[in-house]
Amino acid sequence: MNILVCVKQVPDTTEIKIDPITNTLIRAGVPSILNPFDAYALELAIRIKETNGGLVTVLTMGPDQAKSALKECLSAGADKAILVSDRAFGGSDTLATSYILSTTIKAIENKTENFDLILCGKQAIDGDTGQVGPEIAEHLGYGQVTYAADITVDGENLRVKRENEDHYEIIETQIPAVITVIKTAYELRYATIKSKMAANKIQIPTMTSIDLVIDLERTGLKGSPTKVKKTFIPQLKKSGIKIKEETVRESVLKLISLLSDATLI
Amino acid sequence: MNMLEDFKNLWVYIEAVDGRAKSVGLELLNPGRRLADINKEKLIAVVIGDDACNVAKTAIAYGADEVILVEGDEYKEYSTDGYVNVLDKLVEKYKPSTLLIGATNNGRDVAPRLACRIKTGLTADCTGLDIDEESGNVAWTRPAFGGNLMATILCPNTRPQIGTVRPGVFKKIEPDFSREAKISRERINTPKEGIRTKLIECIKETSGEIVNLEEAEIIVSGGRGLGKAENFSLIRELADVLGATVGSSRAAVDAGWISHMHQVGQTGKTVQPKVYVACGISGAIQHLAGMNSADTIIAINKDEDAPIFDVADYGIVGNLFEVLPVLIEEIKKIKIIKV
């Protein structure tokens, strides 16, 4: 099974603070991490490879520093990593990003062999859109399954456990397919010191627009149908009333009386 | 070449499951009406299913001016290929200016595929909808960066403008089942070989409880403070008396006490209930990202300094094993929570 995992390097959104004076995000000093859902997708890919054989390639679009996320993937067990990077790609929305990634995937397939399975995290924790995976599937004309919690492979058949709002679904499909992955039962394995050192030595190839058959009108800001009109910091909830009475029953009764005053009860 | 002004009317996709409309589609008819009125457009509901006439009638009761109904055996269950095919053909024929889709798992499955086929812009998981005064475009407002930032997005040059909208943000109007409106039936086939996924089985929770956190009005969540799986019975009991859905923090899921379907937070679900009760949850930022837009947050935690109290409207500082039984007892006395 020839597997591609599309990953993204994201700011650790849990470390983001708000500048109280300018009321803007403080991004400086926020660590960059491998998007958590992509880590689950990678672990799933490695497990599929271990049972079925094959290769795991990771692909990301981003600036040169995104190579550190790719190295993390290599040290955990990915076989190959590719960065696609070009100034013309900056400011791309999901439609433009998925176009660039699918064009890159075609270029890689032209040089080597086709991917049977393309995995993405269900969404990135910075943009939270969850759109790039299905849009890659559409660009490539492949079938898709989103919100996968597990995948089993039987020859060309894929059996996907998909999470829906109030139940799981078992969905069957065939390769080639694009599958987006939620938090699974399998955390990404730890890299060893040896694998980290090996990954550090690998020269990660960078593809640019020159390496692709690509219409630059469809990339970057001008290739993006959505435009950001404005951004703002949401009003944060202020902490409310803390109840700590003499006895538990008094605390509970006070809570109920407060809820009643707020017409919640 | 289609011009922007060729595209008219605001569509709301009404997702149907087993012949019933999901709540979020009906909710979206409410803001849909407002946006359509501003731009002097019609509000049209789109319904797909195998036997979905009742869903179409429900959409009329909740305010649709017209309904486009597509029925076929191949649409009994949701499939990406089948439903995208239908929506794409409908858009091509009728040219709506705007399409609102509920941000359910299936909604967020169909929308990007459709937007990419049409080559138009899509804004995900919106929590605010308006019309941009200057341009008349829909102004889609959505959280990003784990809820730390809000962005307002426009899609000025392509049509239709599409957005998925989070369940629970907008309220349904009072339905009027005496309303009448036109239902246009469209026959659109998707050949069997054009549907590449096959639903083999649905697996519900073994306990039989319903876990639709995205649409829940009240959620009672348990966390690490519960100590062990069996203690979730306290959470379930409180949820029962409140008519609430059971949620959990990541810690409880990772400990194996409850399934991931219940998890609220960054690697779980983002919820928007009217009331969120956090029991034994310290309030890690990852958890807060999934629930801090609840209307009212109630926290029960023995650690007075737990960050959950920073976002809680009401918090009891105390041992949940002592607080919860008394709370359950007192609420049983009152019986009904108004929501």
- Chain A residue numbers with beta carbons less than 8 Å from the beta carbon of B296 are 262, 264
Q: What is the mean pLDDT of residues B216-236?
A: 96
**What are the respective helix, strand and coil percentages of chain B, to the nearest 5?**
35, 25, 35
- Chain A residue numbers with beta carbons less than 8 Å from the beta carbon of B204 are 166-167
Half-sphere exposure of B338 (CA within 13 A, CB side): 8
- Report whether pLDDT(B337) > 60: no
Q: What is the mean pLDDT of residues B106-126?
A: 98
Instruction: Return the DSSP state at A210.
Output: G
Q: Do B144 and A227 touch (CB under 8 A)?
A: no
Say if strands A24-26 and A117-121 run parallel, antiparallel, or are unpaired.
Answer: unpaired
The residues pairing with B298 across neighbouring beta strands, listed in sequence order, are: B277, B314
Q: Do A240 and B312 touch (CB under 8 A)?
A: yes
Q: What is the mean pLDDT of residues B251-256?
A: 94
User: How far is it, in rounded angstroms, from Cα B144 to Cα A234?
Assistant: 10
Half-sphere exposure of B175 (CA within 13 A, CB side): 12
Q: Which residue does chain A place closest to B215, by CA atoms? A: A165
The predicted structure's pLDDT at residue B206: 63
Q: Would an 8 Å CB–CB cutoff place B307 in contact with chain A?
A: no
**CA distances, A89 to each of A97, A220, A224, B199 (Å):** 8, 4, 10, 37
Nearest CA-CA partner of B226 in B268, B273, B262, B272:
B262
Q: What is the mean pLDDT of residues B249-268?
A: 93
- Report whether pLDDT(B238) > 50: yes
CB B80 within 8 A of CB B197: yes
The predicted structure's pLDDT at residue A141: 98
The predicted structure's pLDDT at residue B210: 67
pLDDT in tens, B139-166: 999 998 888 889 999 999 999 999 999 9
Window B:235-294, CB contacts with A under 8 Å? 260-261, 263, 266-268, 275, 284-286, 289, 292
The predicted structure's pLDDT at residue B339: 47
- Chain B residue numbers with beta carbons less than 8 Å from the beta carbon of A137 are 113
User: How far is it, in rounded angstroms, from Cα A118 to Cα A95?
Assistant: 17
CB B102 within 8 A of CB B28: yes
CB pairs under 8 A between A and B: 260
Q: What is the DSSP string of A52-85?
A: H--EEEEEEES-GGGHHHHHHHHHHT-SEEEEE-
User: How far is it, in rounded angstroms, from Cα B258 to Cα B211?
Assistant: 11
**CA distances, B4 to each of B52, B113, B253 (Å):** 31, 21, 48
Mutate to test the interface with A, among B76, B116, B120 (most CBs of A within 10 A): B116
Nearest by CB to residue B338, choosing from A18, A237, A264, is: A264
Q: Do B112 and A127 touch (CB under 8 A)?
A: no
- List the structure tokens of B245: 């859905």
- Chain A residue numbers with beta carbons less than 8 Å from the beta carbon of B285 are 14
Nearest by CB to residue B113, choosing from A14, A129, A134, is: A134
Q: Return phi, psi of residue A210, to 5°.
A: -65, -30
Can you give the pTM of this predicted structure? 0.93
Q: What are the start-end ranges of the H helices in B213-264?
A: 232-242, 250-254
Per-residue pLDDT of chain A (265 residues; tens, 9 = 90+): 999 999 999 999 888 887 877 777 787 888 999 999 999 999 999 999 999 999 999 999 999 999 999 999 999 999 999 999 999 999 999 999 999 999 999 999 999 999 999 999 999 999 999 999 999 999 999 999 999 999 999 999 999 999 998 899 999 999 999 999 999 999 999 999 999 999 999 999 999 999 999 999 999 999 999 999 999 988 766 778 999 999 999 999 999 999 988 888 7
Percent of chain B's residues with pLDDT above 70 = 96
Q: Would an 8 Å CB–CB cutoff place A183 in contact with chain B?
A: yes
Q: Do B212 and A149 touch (CB under 8 A)?
A: no
Q: Distance from A201 to chain B by nearest Cα, in Å? A: 32
Q: Distance from A117 to chain B by nearest Cα, in Å? A: 14
Instruction: Return the DSSP state at A166.
Output: S
Q: Distance from A126 to chain B by nearest Cα, in Å? A: 4
Q: Distance from B96 to chain A by nearest Cα, in Å? A: 17
CB B250 within 8 A of CB B268: yes
- Chain B residue numbers with beta carbons less than 8 Å from the beta carbon of A159 are 200
Q: Do B313 and A240 touch (CB under 8 A)?
A: yes
* ipTM confidence: 0.94
Q: Would an 8 Å CB–CB cutoff place A20 in contact with chain B?
A: no
Q: Do B316 and A225 touch (CB under 8 A)?
A: no
pLDDT in tens, B294-319: 999 999 999 999 999 999 999 999 99
- Report whether pLDDT(B232) > 60: yes
pLDDT in tens, B26-66: 999 999 999 999 999 999 999 999 999 999 999 999 999 99
- Report whether pLDDT(B272) > 80: yes
- Report whether pLDDT(B203) > 60: yes
Q: Which residue does chain B place closest to A40, by CA atoms? A: B267
Q: Is A239 helix (H, G, I), strand (E, B) or coil?
A: coil
User: How far is it, in rounded angstroms, from Cα A225 to Cα A3?
Assistant: 30
Nearest CA-CA partner of A151 in A52, A239, A64:
A52
Q: Do A226 and B121 touch (CB under 8 A)?
A: yes
Window B:17-46, CB contacts with A under 8 Å? none
Half-sphere exposure of A149 (CA within 13 A, CB side): 16
- Report whether pLDDT(B1) > 60: no
Q: Which residues contact A120 (CB under 8 A, 6 or more apart)?
A: A5, A6, A37, A38, A41, A132, A133, A136, A178, A179, A180, A181
Q: Which residues contact A243 (CB under 8 A, 6 or more apart)?
A: A251, A254, A255, A258, B314, B315, B316, B317
Where do we find the tokens 């947050």?
B297
Mutate to test the interface with B, among A17, A122, A128 (most CBs of B within 10 A): A128
- Chain A residue numbers with beta carbons less than 8 Å from the beta carbon of B214 are 165
How far does CA B270 lie from the centroid of its chain?
A: 9
Q: Mean pLDDT in chain B? A: 94
More confident residue, B149 or B279: B279
Q: Do A225 and B153 touch (CB under 8 A)?
A: no
- Chain A residue numbers with beta carbons less than 8 Å from the beta carbon of B260 are 149, 163, 182-183
User: How far is it, in rounded angstroms, from Cα B220 to Cα B261?
Assistant: 14
Q: What is the mean pLDDT of residues B194-220?
A: 87
